[in-house]
């Protein structure tokens, strides 16, 4: 068993973000080749979580020991107080039983057994540690991976992996809490694993540019927030960051979500737990949203989601009450996702949904009729065409649909936008992270702020008032169009149809002067060409003579 106090460990300097990333990515390299990207993702993230909870528990225990008087306190009472669960859980720290502590696991990482002790499989010990932590912390029940004692995992490499993790210390880093540091590392890993997995990576990781754009436009601050295919929970985490950035209380947000893939559902549960968010709203297990809505009758204030695009094989019931605007086609679930989102919205709710660009104009299999009914019901508030290559895993160009159940003045904005839709063409925004991936710039003058500020100015929100923003159409970028204009365009919602082209710089040069200038430039070019031609002939003649 690990000793109750580990002063040497606590005194260890906390790792910087760069050190953590370098160390932990090297750890991933130890498994690369022996396991697929999907498999080693789960192995690594589970170990990262285990190391984090152990370090956080140690740190809280040492702080508590000092608060209780340390060596001057009654040893029996001190031990009882140090084992009080409320002293940990009340401070956002998970309980770590002795057999789940990192010191205990590390001892067996390379077969360092006690004299006369039977060899212990490090994989089995880690699985038992996961069970122990889930048993001690209700919010983690059914969440942590138990995959370490399988035949396809090299136990020698796993031991080396655990040994390498010893150099990572999740503790305070300046004024940054261990939880914030862990959250950043977790997101770093999710992003890297999404790149490594290629296409499948999009199932659990939405590009940060898209997540932040949706959050900045919707500005979720209080109420129920929902994602019907939540992946690893990025929308929820970014919403929490938004609230804290605005000096609000993240506890005012109630998280609800659903995820069909077991491994991804576990990632989301862990991700929320790491960020100190209640993950009970993700249910007790994974499940198909179309087959069974796990949150029936719960009206959502905000829906933010990046559903899988163009699903051809989905659970379809033509009598489902969610199909208010028409039954979605059997060979494409795009309008099933859209209608599910609208069905879940509260009377004053709003939503942001990432979709393939084809959803904005498709007329096949009744999709155009469904879109027309949604537009005529005045539920679309804004359409944003995004730049290409935001997803490393797919080349499909995407857009974001924003919905609002009520666009009247006072229902989230000072301007009555009933019967209008804001179109934003953001295809020219962004910068290349590398040759394969584009991102939108952050900051008060960045691309994300430009999109969000345009929407808030159009709607007349509190943010627009604070920033003194006023809306006007900008040719080539944004346009407020009426439902009648959209109807005249066959209910197509492609921003490029409405925003037009950017105004070019006005040419003030008189026509006669421009003709004279261009003629002079042309003559000069021709003269230079004649001189160059003569010189080339001279060189060729000299070569021939030689």
**Is the pLDDT at 330 greater than 90, yes or no?**
yes
More confident residue, 394 or 389: 389
More confident residue, 528 or 495: 495
List residues bridging with 226 in a β-sheet. 256, 303
**Is the pLDDT at 360 greater than 50, yes or no?**
yes
Q: Do 101 and 23 touch, CB atoms closer than 8 A?
A: no
Q: Do 258 and 282 touch, CB atoms closer than 8 A?
A: yes
Q: Are residues 514 and 471 in the same domain?
A: no
Q: Mean pLDDT over residues 458-462, rounded?
A: 96
Q: Do 317 and 339 touch, CB atoms closer than 8 A?
A: no
Residue 188 resides in a domain: no
Residue 393 resides in a domain: yes
Q: How confident is the model at residue 4 (pLDDT cuts 50, 70, 90)?
A: very low
More confident residue, 446 or 4: 446
| pLDDT > 70 in the chain, percent | 81
Sequence-separated (6 or more) residues with CB below 8 Å from residue 292:
none
Instruction: Give, for 347, the enclosing helix (H) or strand (E).
Output: strand 345-356
Q: Do 265 and 259 touch, CB atoms closer than 8 A?
A: yes
Q: Are residues 22 and 67 in the same domain?
A: yes
Q: Do 403 and 380 touch, CB atoms closer than 8 A?
A: yes
Span 268-322, pLDDT tens digits? 888 888 777 888 899 989 999 999 999 999 999 999 999 998 999 999 999 999 9
Q: Are residues 369 and 304 in the same domain?
A: yes
Query: What's the confidence (pLDDT) of residue 337?
Result: 98
More confident residue, 470 or 167: 470
Span 39-95, pLDDT tens digits? 777 788 888 889 888 988 998 888 888 888 877 777 778 888 888 999 888 887 899
Cα atoms in the 13 Å half-sphere on the side-chain side of 74: 4
Query: What's the confidence (pLDDT) of residue 173?
Result: 41
**Phi and psi at residue 296, to the nearest 5°:** -65, 140
Q: Mean pLDDT over residues 215-228, rounded?
A: 96
Residue 198 resides in a domain: no
In angstroms, rounded to a whole number, what is the distance separating the alpha carbons of residues 372 and 325?
9
Q: Do 315 and 333 touch, CB atoms closer than 8 A?
A: no
What are all long-range contacts of 57-62, with beta carbons under 8 Å and residues at least 24 apart?
A: 57/88, 57/93, 57/94, 57/95, 57/96, 57/101, 58/6, 58/9, 58/10, 59/10, 59/171, 59/172, 59/178, 60/87, 60/88, 60/91, 60/93, 61/4, 61/5, 61/88, 62/5, 62/7, 62/10
**Is the pLDDT at 371 greater than 70, yes or no?**
yes
In angstroms, rounded to a whole number, what is the distance separating the alpha carbons of residues 189 and 128?
24
Residue 190 resides in a domain: no
**Is the pLDDT at 130 greater than 90, yes or no?**
yes
Report the domain count for the chain.
3
Q: Are residues 442 and 533 in the same domain?
A: no
In angstroms, rounded to a whole number, what is the distance separating the alpha carbons of residues 455 and 474?
13
In angstroms, rounded to a whole number, what is the distance separating the alpha carbons of residues 73 and 224?
46
Q: Are residues 542 and 467 in the same domain?
A: no
Q: Do 325 and 339 touch, CB atoms closer than 8 A?
A: yes
Q: Are residues 516 and 493 in the same domain?
A: no
Span 332-348, pLDDT tens digits? 999 999 999 999 999 99
Sequence-separated (6 or more) residues with CB below 8 Å from residue 75:
none
Q: Do 206 and 354 touch, CB atoms closer than 8 A?
A: yes
- The two tokens of residue 408 are 């009247």
In angstroms, rounded to a whole number, what is the distance separating the alpha carbons of residues 337 and 463?
29
Q: Are residues 486 and 515 in the same domain?
A: no
Q: Which of 479, 216, 444 is nearest to 350 (CA)?
A: 216
More confident residue, 219 or 69: 219
Instruction: Give, for 19, the enclosing helix (H) or strand (E).
Output: helix 17-31
Sequence-separated (6 or more) residues with CB below 8 Å from residue 462:
none
Query: What's the confidence (pLDDT) of residue 200?
Result: 47
Domain boundary among 121, 155, 173: 173
Domain hosting residue 243, numbered range:
204-499
Q: Do 423 and 478 touch, CB atoms closer than 8 A?
A: yes
Q: How confident is the model at residue 3 (pLDDT cuts 50, 70, 90)?
A: very low
**Is the pLDDT at 490 greater than 90, yes or no?**
yes
Residue 185 resides in a domain: no
Query: What's the confidence (pLDDT) of residue 463?
Result: 94
Q: Which of 132, 165, 129 is nearest to 148 (CA)?
A: 129
Q: Are residues 287 and 380 in the same domain?
A: yes
* Pairing assessment for the beta strands 380-385 and 345-356 based on DSSP bridges: unpaired
* Pairing assessment for the beta strands 478-482 and 438-439 based on DSSP bridges: unpaired
- DSSP-assigned states of every residue in 163-182: HHHTT---S-BTTB-HHHHH
Q: Are residues 224 and 143 in the same domain?
A: no
Residue 194 resides in a domain: no
**Phi and psi at residue 265, to the nearest 5°:** -60, -40
Q: Is 205 helix (H, G, I), strand (E, B) or coil?
A: coil
CATH number at residue 159: 1.20.1260.30
Residue 79 resides in a domain: yes
Domain boundary among 155, 173, 191: 173
Q: Are residues 137 and 223 in the same domain?
A: no
Q: Are residues 348 and 396 in the same domain?
A: yes
Q: Mean pLDDT over residues 466-494, rounded?
A: 97
Instruction: Give, for 225, the enclosing helix (H) or strand (E).
Output: strand 223-227
**How large is the greatest C-alpha to C-alpha distance in the chain, in angstroms?**
109
Q: Which of 204-213, 302-311, 358-367 has the lowest mean pLDDT?
A: 204-213
Residue 399 resides in a domain: yes
Q: Is 343 helix (H, G, I), strand (E, B) or coil?
A: helix
Q: Mean pLDDT over residues 419-446, rounded?
A: 93
Mean of the per-residue pLDDT values for the chain?
85
Query: What's the confidence (pLDDT) of residue 6?
Result: 42
CATH number at residue 373: 3.40.50.150
Cα angle 337, 342, 346 (rounded to 5 degrees) comes to: 140
Domain boundary among 131, 157, 173: 173
Q: Are residues 211 and 355 in the same domain?
A: yes
């Amino acid at each position: 068993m690990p000793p109750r106090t580990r002063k040497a460990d606590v005194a260890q300097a906390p790792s910087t973000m760069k050190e953590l990333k370098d160390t932990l990515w090297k750890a991933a390299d130890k498994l690369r080749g022996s396991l697929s990207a999907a498999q080693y993702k789960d192995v690594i993230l589970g170990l990262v979580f285990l190391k984090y909870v152990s370090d956080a528990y140690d740190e809280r225990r040492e702080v508590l020991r000092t608060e209780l008087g340390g060596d001057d306190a009654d040893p029996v009472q001190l031990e009882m107080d140090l084992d009080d669960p409320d002293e940990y859980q009340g401070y956002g720290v998970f309980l770590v039983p002795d057999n789940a502590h990192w010191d205990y696991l590390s001892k067996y990482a390379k077969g360092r057994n006690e004299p006369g002790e039977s060899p212990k499989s490090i994989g089995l010990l880690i699985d038992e540690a996961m069970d122990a932590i889930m048993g001690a912390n209700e919010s983690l029940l059914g969440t942590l991976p138990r995959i370490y004692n399988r035949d396809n995992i090299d136990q020698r490499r796993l031991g080396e992996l655990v040994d390498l993790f010893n150099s990572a210390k999740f503790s305070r880093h300046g004024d940054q809490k261990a939880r914030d540091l862990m959250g950043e590392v977790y997101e770093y890993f999710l992003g890297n694993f999404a790149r490594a997995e290629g296409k499948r990576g999009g199932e659990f990781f939405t590009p940060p540019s898209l997540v932040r754009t949706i959050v900045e436009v919707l500005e979720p601050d209080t109420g129920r927030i929902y994602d019907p295919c939540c992946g690893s929970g990025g929308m929820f985490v970014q919403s929490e960051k938004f609230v804290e950035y605005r000096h609000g209380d993240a506890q005012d947000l109630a998280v609800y979500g659903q995820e069909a893939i077991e491994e991804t559902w576990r990632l989301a549960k862990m991700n929320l737990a790491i960020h100190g968010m209640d993950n009970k709203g993700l249910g007790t297990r994974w499940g198909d949203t179309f087959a069974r809505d796990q949150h029936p009758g719960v009206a959502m204030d905000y829906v933010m989601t990046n559903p899988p695009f163009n699903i051809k094989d989905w659970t379809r019931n033509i009598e489902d009450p969610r199909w208010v605007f028409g039954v979605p086609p059997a060979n494409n679930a795009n309008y099933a996702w859209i209608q599910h989102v609208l069905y879940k919205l509260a009377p004053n709710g709003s939503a942001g949904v990432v979709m393939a660009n084809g959803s904005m104009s498709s007329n096949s299999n009744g999709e155009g009729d469904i879109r027309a009914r949604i537009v005529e019901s005045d539920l679309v508030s804004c359409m944003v065409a995004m730049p290409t290559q935001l997803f490393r895993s797919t080349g499909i160009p995407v857009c974001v649909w924003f919905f609002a159940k009520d666009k009247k003045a006072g229902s989230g904005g000072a301007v009555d936008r009933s019967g209008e839709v804001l179109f934003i063409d953001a295809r020219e925004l962004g910068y290349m992270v590398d040759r394969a991936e584009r991102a939108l710039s952050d900051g008060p003058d960045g691309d994300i702020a430009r999109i969000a500020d345009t929407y808030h100015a159009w709607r007349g929100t509190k943010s627009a008032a604070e920033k003194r923003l006023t809306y006007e159409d900008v040719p080539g970028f944004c346009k407020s169009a009426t439902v009648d204009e959209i109807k005249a365009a066959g209910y197509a919602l492609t921003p490029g149809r409405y925003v037009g082209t950017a105004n070019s710089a006005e040419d003030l040069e008189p026509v006669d002067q421009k003709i004279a200038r261009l003629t002079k430039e042309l003559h000069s070019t021709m003269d230079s060409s004649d001189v160059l031609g003569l010189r080339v002939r001279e060189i060729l003649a000299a070569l021939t003579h030689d």
